[in-house]
Structure 1
Amino acid sequence: MKTTIAKVGQFVDQTVTIGAWIANKRSSGKIAFLQLRDGTGFIQGVVVKAEVGEEIFAKAKAITQESSLYVTGIVREDERAPSGYELTVTDVELIHEAVDYPITPKEHGTEFLMDHRHLWIRSKRQHAVMKIRNEIIRSTYEFFNENGFVKVDPPILTGSAPEGTSELFATKYFDEDAYLSQSGQLYMEAAAMALGRVFSFGPTFRAEKSKTRRHLIEFWMIEPEMAFVEFEENLEVQEQYVSYLAQSVLKNCQIELKTLGRDLEKLEKIQAPFARITYDDAVTFLHKEGFDDIEWGDDFGSPHETAIANHYDKPVFITHYPTSLKPFYMQPDPNRPEVVLCADLIAPEGYGEIIGGSERIHDMELLEQRLDEHKLDLNAYEWYLQLRKYGSVPHSGFGLGLERTVAWLSGVEHVRETIPFPRLLNRLYP
């Protein structure tokens, strides 16, 4: 019976064949232990010389790291194994011998591993992170489909920018200027006026020269937009969504979380509702924490966000930022126009902002005024303005950064491990 490592539990005490690679191995004179991986998981294959004979045992001992093979054996339950199962090997068939595989079980530097990212993702730790990423993607679609959202794909090439062009990658679109998208939001607003509740899930690009553990040049965003939804309801959707992600990972990625040494108690606490603190109160709090340099009107950096987040054991919303700090499309607070109806969701444990969101301006005259204040070309945004001309309604939305969320839920320190092939300030290879 041919099967995968993930499905061996269905074949206890039966003989199966698995196509696999050798992740590692060790042996004595009489027993060889093969650490096998097949993409679906990891399992140990035990080869006993007295049971398989000299020829098969010699073949098993000689197989090198990352060689590919078919392994046949009997599935055994084993409480000590991470998956709960082990394979008593009866035969091995070499497919391809790997010679001098560069990533050995010894320690390697980060730059070396990044140069060999195409191979590094085979490792147990990277496998666990990618599986958690996949679970977050799967549960994202599940959450939005179950809550009446329609998936819409905005363009990646755009003729204008939602937040200005200073951090965009410019390109030529035949004889016009074009940019790689930093957000699909403006197009999602148009989609929301047609379909009510929508979400996008795609790559975005920031030409931002940052080298922190939180930044990537190319990353993936989930961007919902909702017609007839105002500020408070927008926050409720966000906290329900993030709670759903956390609990899905906790439920479906136990082996991966254990591999990464993640503190499960911290994930268990991530359930709505989340605390909220206004920008005003955050500034006051930071002064008490010794951040004397921050003044009202200043943006928060990583140390400020971390100090605020450390005060809570769940994500926390920072709301009502100064209008001057935020993009042109955010709705001012009607009772206090110097701040906007927006919120950043800050993850605990120093992972920073994972969501930015707001109620959007739905009044055409005010939107024209804000575009003018930001010195943006009204002609380029004519289509966007028309959304306010023909049946405008209050609407809200947000964007969640996938890689930061993967880093936080999996507990890894740097976002470069949360995407298969990271694009960093000085890295375009492999």
Structure 2
Amino acid sequence: MRSSGEEAKHGEKSLKIDDMEICSKEYEIKDIDSSLIGKTIRFHGWVRSFHQIGKKSFFTVYSAGYMAKCMHVSEEEKIHLTKHTSVIVTGDVKKNFTKDSFPCEIHVKSFEIFGGKLAPTFEIDREQTSESFLLDHQHLLIRDMEKTAVLKVRAELLKLARAFYDEKEYTEVTPPTLVQTQVEGGSTLFKMDYFGEDAFLTQSSQLYLETVAPIFGKAYCIASSYRAEKSNTRRHLSEYTHVEAELAWIDFETLLSEIEDMIIYLTKGFNTKCISILKHFGVKMEALAVPEKPFKRLKHSEAIDILVKEGVKKEDGTDYTYADDIPDAPERFICDVVGKGAPVFLVKFPI
């Protein structure tokens, strides 16, 4: 949509939209840098911030994780833009003389509010808002740089997982998530009516992968899994992305070796691909230490002995016994003490 002389209403204020200057090429914000200084360009995106000083309006426009710094001077009435408003901007690329990180700035000649409507104002103060409220408004929060960084890194890790399996000649399959079988306790299943029959959201694609392992030898899937567990911890999610694989004709040590290879591959890939992504979004992080094969193996009984020796107690204040499972915090303690921060395989659990 192209506007000329239209006005976008915002309460009692109005925003006059100048005539749009046609440029031969439209740029992506990620491609706007100092090499374009002196040129007139056109680009689109969403308003990230906006403020005015006298007749000058300063705003940033973002798209795909990149931002452009803009300045607009109006001899007429003041303009007004709201956060997340969709805009198409035409302007001259100038040198940036301020101390911020932008390689250049855009002196706006004309711009268009896409659709002619300002985005509704909806500011969120994270420090004064409950976690429940923030989760209900994720569609707005994910536009922040920190959340964008999380999604970009997550996407890169999924690419790396697929690349690992592809290099090892696994076959990817897409199992159903509505099932009539279960792989764990029935109390953790999400149950629903499926045309008069009971159906469940899958907890794991293990059984499906086991059916295709004789066909392909090595198979994997990346799919959603669901657990109806009312636990408010980082390790208990009602829905999560599950990376699973099944291999035929292997022994236990071969399985552990395959897991070691994947962790090493993902760690190296994270350092190569994801550190730069985080840096772009303003998140400082050092490269991760790449573990070496073989990872340490620790029997369940040996882990219990270490916990007792080091005085690590259960929640009720008693010592761990050989019949106990080992929860999250003691597991991390064992990794620190035995693995020195590196992964540790906990094996030979009591039956």
Equivalent residue, structure 2, for 1:47: 71
* Residue identity in the other structure for 1:228: W
What is the correspondence of 1:125-140 to structure 2 with a 5 Å cutoff? 125-140=146-161
Equivalent residue, structure 1, for 2:12: none
Equivalent residue, structure 2, for 1:66: 84
* Residue identity in the other structure for 1:317: V
Equivalent residue, structure 2, for 1:421: none
Cα deviations by residue, 1:4-50 (Å, 9 ceiling, x for unpaired): 23333596434432221112234434754423221x1132413164x
Equivalent residue, structure 1, for 2:349: 322
Tell me by how many angstroms 1:260 deviates. Answer: 6.2
Tell me by how many angstroms 1:188 deviates. Answer: 0.5
Alignment of 1:94 with 2:113, yes or no, is yes
Equivalent residue, structure 1, for 2:186: 165
* Residue identity in the other structure for 1:70: I
Counterparts of 2:250 and 2:285 in 1: how far apart (Å)? 35
> Which one of 129, 133, 138 corresponds to residue 117 of structure 1?
138
Helix, strand or coil: the match of 1:232? helix
Cα deviations by residue, 1:211-259 (Å, 9 ceiling, x for unpaired): 1133210111010111122222222222222232233233223454234
* Residue identity in the other structure for 1:93: E
Tell me by how many angstroms 1:298 deviates. Answer: 0.8
Tell me by how many angstroms 1:278 deviates. Answer: 2.5
What is the correspondence of 1:83-232 to structure 2 with a 5 Å cutoff? 85-91=103-109, 92-95=111-114, 96-103=117-124, 108-232=129-253
Counterparts of 1:238 and 1:8 in 2: how far apart (Å)? 42
* Larger RCO, structure (CA 8 Å, separation 6 or more): 1
> Which one of 26, 42, 63 corresponds to residue 2 of structure 1?
26
- List, as ranges, runs of 4+ consecutive aligned residues in structure 1 with deviation greater than 6 Å: 76-80
Helix, strand or coil: the match of 1:163? coil
Equivalent residue, structure 2, for 1:261: 283
Q: Against the structure 1 CA distance between its residues 19 and 272, is the aligned structure 2 distance closer, same or farther, given a 3 Å change threshold?
A: farther
Alignment of 1:34 with 2:59, yes or no, is yes
Equivalent residue, structure 2, for 1:369: none
Equivalent residue, structure 2, for 1:22: 47
Equivalent residue, structure 1, for 2:326: 300
Tell me by how many angstroms 1:150 deviates. Answer: 0.6
Counterparts of 1:242 and 1:183 in 2: how far apart (Å)? 20
What is the correspondence of 1:348-427 to structure 2 with a 5 Å cutoff? none
Equivalent residue, structure 2, for 1:415: none
The normalised TM-score by structure 2 is 0.79
Counterparts of 1:188 and 1:74 in 2: how far apart (Å)? 57
Counterparts of 1:287 and 1:132 in 2: how far apart (Å)? 39
Tell me by how many angstroms 1:141 deviates. Answer: 1.5
* Residue identity in the other structure for 2:69: G
The normalised TM-score by structure 1 is 0.65
Counterparts of 1:277 and 1:149 in 2: how far apart (Å)? 29
Cα deviations by residue, 1:352-404 (Å, 9 ceiling, x for unpaired): xxxxxxxxxxxxxxxxxxxxxxxxxxxxxxxxxxxxxxxxxxxxxxxxxxxxx
Equivalent residue, structure 2, for 1:377: none
Tell me by how many angstroms 1:315 deviates. Answer: 4.2
Count of aligned positions: 314
Counterparts of 2:127 and 2:228 in 1: how far apart (Å)? 35
Q: Against the structure 1 CA distance between its residues 270 and 313, is the aligned structure 2 distance closer, same or farther, given a 3 Å change threshold?
A: farther
Equivalent residue, structure 2, for 1:425: none
Q: Which ranges in structure 1 are unaligned for 5 or more consecutive residues? A: 325-430
What percent identity do the matched residue pairs reach? 29
Counterparts of 1:262 and 1:313 in 2: how far apart (Å)? 23
Q: Against the structure 1 CA distance between its residues 180 and 63, is the aligned structure 2 distance closer, same or farther, given a 3 Å change threshold?
A: same
Counterparts of 1:10 and 1:229 in 2: how far apart (Å)? 56
Q: Against the structure 1 CA distance between its residues 8 and 282, is the aligned structure 2 distance closer, same or farther, given a 3 Å change threshold?
A: farther
Q: Against the structure 1 CA distance between its residues 280 and 253, is the aligned structure 2 distance closer, same or farther, given a 3 Å change threshold?
A: same
* Residue identity in the other structure for 1:2: E
RMSD value, Cα = 2.8
Counterparts of 1:316 and 1:64 in 2: how far apart (Å)? 48
Cα deviations by residue, 1:167-224 (Å, 9 ceiling, x for unpaired): 1112233343322110001110111110111101111110111111332101110101
Contact 1:162/1:183, CA 8 A, preserved across alignment: yes
* Residue identity in the other structure for 1:235: L
Helix, strand or coil: the match of 1:43? strand
Tell me by how many angstroms 1:283 deviates. Answer: 1.4
Cα deviations by residue, 1:266-299 (Å, 9 ceiling, x for unpaired): x2x0344343333222212212221242111211
Contact 1:276/1:317, CA 8 A, preserved across alignment: yes
* Residue identity in the other structure for 2:113: L
Q: Which ranges in structure 2 are unaligned for 5 or more consecutive residues? A: 1-24, 314-318
Contact 1:129/1:256, CA 8 A, preserved across alignment: no
Contact 1:75/1:85, CA 8 A, preserved across alignment: no
* Residue identity in the other structure for 1:25: F
Report the structure number with the largest CA radius of gyration.
2
Q: Against the structure 1 CA distance between its residues 193 and 85, is the aligned structure 2 distance closer, same or farther, given a 3 Å change threshold?
A: farther
* Residue identity in the other structure for 2:327: G
